[in-house]
Amino acid sequence: MRTIAMLVAALLASPAAAQTQVQVNEAAARAYARADAAMTREWRLTYAAMKRMDAANRGGFRYAAATLASQRAWLAFRDAECAIEGGEFAGGSLQSMAESQCRARLTNDRAAQLRSLRWQR
């Protein structure tokens, strides 16, 4: 069932011009690159906000350090999770697409999480 869902998602998410599996894989990789760029922008803004909170806090909770540790752990999680999702198609032409789609999805989610951390104090 999951395989069918993955194939349907690939067809729906792929640009109409992408006809070959190579083109579909490339489109998925581009979607991940866009998600990664957006998440990187959110990371920079959030980390800067946490550094400002640290400066205002003067010795209390270390917001920037906690945020950095969280991001590093999240990156390891994302990579491991997407390796598992791609593993369903190990050795096949869908593996790369599945991993890229997973990375794009989780990275977009992380960008939203990072944005939500920029609360006012």
Residue 42 has phi, psi (to 5 degrees) of: -65, -40
Residue 9 predicted with pLDDT over 80: no
Tell me: the pLDDT tens digits for 55-76? 998 778 999 999 999 999 999 9
Tell me: the pLDDT tens digits for 73-110? 999 999 999 999 999 999 999 999 999 999 999 999 99
- Tally of domains in the chain: 1
Tell me: the pLDDT tens digits for 31-47? 999 999 999 999 999 99
13 falls within a domain: no
Q: What is the pTM of this model?
A: 0.82
84 falls within a domain: yes
The confidence score (pLDDT) of residue 58 equals: 79
CATH number at residue 42: 1.20.1270.180
Where do we find the tokens 């390891």?
Answer: 76
2 falls within a domain: no
List the domain range (segments joined by +) for residue 47. 20-116
7 falls within a domain: no
Residue 85 · residue 16 · CB < 8 Å:
no
First CA to last CA across the chain, in angstroms?
Answer: 47
